[in-house]
Amino acid sequence: MCMLTYLPAGVQPDAAALANGAELNPHGHGYAVVTAQGIIVGKSFDFAESLETFTRLRQEHSGGPALFHSRFRTHGKTSEANIHPFKVNLNSSTVLAHNGILPASVQPTRRQKKSDTRIFAEDCLGKSISDQFDDDATRFVLERWLGPWNKVVVLTVDPRHSKQSYLFNEKAGIWDEGAWYSNSDFQPPVPVARGAFNGVCIACDSMDSADLRGICVVCGSCVECASLPGCCARWCPRIWALPLCEECELPADECECPANADKTVRLALPTSAPVSAVASSPTRLSRRDNAR
C-alpha cells in the first residue's frame, strides 16, 4: 500500500504525479528534504498543503535528496504520528519511509496504535543494521527480510554514512523522468470495474446467496474472495464497501470493540444496494496489486 517517491539531488517533484498518488492513498502525506542544516520533515492530512510546502522547500534545497510519501492505511491508527517518514531509532539525523506490508514480526496488534513501518523504524531497526547501510552484506540481509515487494527509502545526514540516501528493493519500483516511484500510482488513472461479482458465490457456487454484507448465507464465506468474515484480503471489493469502526478504524468485519458488538448492524452497507451493484461500480482503485 501507499506511494513512495524518491528524488535524487537536483530533481524537482512532478506535482501531477504526486497528486495521482495522493488520490489513491489518502490517509496522510509526509515529506523529508535533506538540507545543509539537517533533514526537514513535514506531515499533514492536507495534500495540497503538503505539496505546496514540499515544492517550496525542494526548490530552496535541491542539492540533496528528498522523498514524498502518501499513505494508504493497512496497520495502525490513522493519525499524524503514523504518517511517513519516521526517525530511525528516534534519531533525527536519519529517517525512512516505506511502501508495502512488512513481515508479521513488526505488525501491530489490533490494540496498538503504531503502524508496522513506525514500529520497524523506531523499535526494530537496531543500530547493528542502521549504522551499516553501506555494507553490502547488511543490505542483502535487510532486503531479504523485507521480501521482494517491500520498498524502503532512507535519508540521512549522519556522517557515519557515505551517502545521504539509500533505496532498498529499488528494482521493484519505477524510475520516471529522474524520479523513483515505489509503484504505478503516480501514473494517470485508468477507470476499471471494482470487481467481477456475477451473483454466484465464489466459494460454493450458490446463486444469489449474498446478504447485504456480501456474505454467502449458504456457506458463510465472502462471495468475492471466499474468505471467512474478518479475513478478507485488502484487495477484496467487499472491503471497500464496508464502513470503518470509528474507535479502532478497522474494517467492520475485523472490529472487536465491545461497544460495537452488533455486527449485523455495523456490517450493513451504506445503502440497500446489493454487493453486486457496489462491486461493479467504476473506481480509481485500478492499480492495487501485490506489488504494493
pLDDT given at position 289: 33
Whether 173 and 81 map to the same domain: the answer is yes
Q: pLDDT of 63-110, one tens digit each?
A: 999 999 999 887 788 899 999 999 999 889 999 999 988 888 888 887
Cell 501514473 -> residue: 187
How many residues does this entry show for the chain? 292
Whether 140 and 249 map to the same domain: the answer is no
Cβ atoms of residues 197 and 253 within 8 Å? no
Tally of structural domains, the chain? 2
Whether 67 and 117 map to the same domain: the answer is yes
Whether 48 and 164 map to the same domain: the answer is yes
pLDDT given at position 157: 97
> Which of 182-191, 196-205, 280-289 has the lowest average pLDDT?
280-289
Whether 200 and 219 map to the same domain: the answer is yes
Q: pLDDT of 5-25, one tens digit each?
A: 999 999 999 999 999 999 989
Whether 81 and 211 map to the same domain: the answer is no
Is pLDDT at 244 greater than 90 in this prediction?
no
Cα torsion angle, 64, 70, 74, 75, sign: positive
Q: pLDDT of 127-158, one tens digit each?
A: 667 788 999 999 999 999 999 889 999 999 99
**CATH number of the domain encompassing residue 158:** 3.60.20
Whether 173 and 198 map to the same domain: the answer is no
Whether 264 and 288 map to the same domain: the answer is yes
Longest dimension (CA), the chain: 65
Q: What are phi and psi of 106, to 5 degrees?
A: -115, 10
Q: What are phi and psi of 278, to 5 degrees?
A: -65, -40
Q: pLDDT of 206-219, one tens digit each?
A: 888 888 777 888 87
* Three-class secondary structure of residue 140 per DSSP: helix
Whether 239 and 275 map to the same domain: the answer is yes
pLDDT given at position 288: 34
Cis status of the peptide bond prior to 85, with omega within 30 of 0:
yes
Whether 119 and 201 map to the same domain: the answer is no
pLDDT given at position 260: 58
Is pLDDT at 255 greater than 70 in this prediction?
no
Domain coverage including residue 174? 3-186
Cell 446489493 -> residue: 274
Whether 41 and 151 map to the same domain: the answer is yes
CA 56 to chain centre: 25
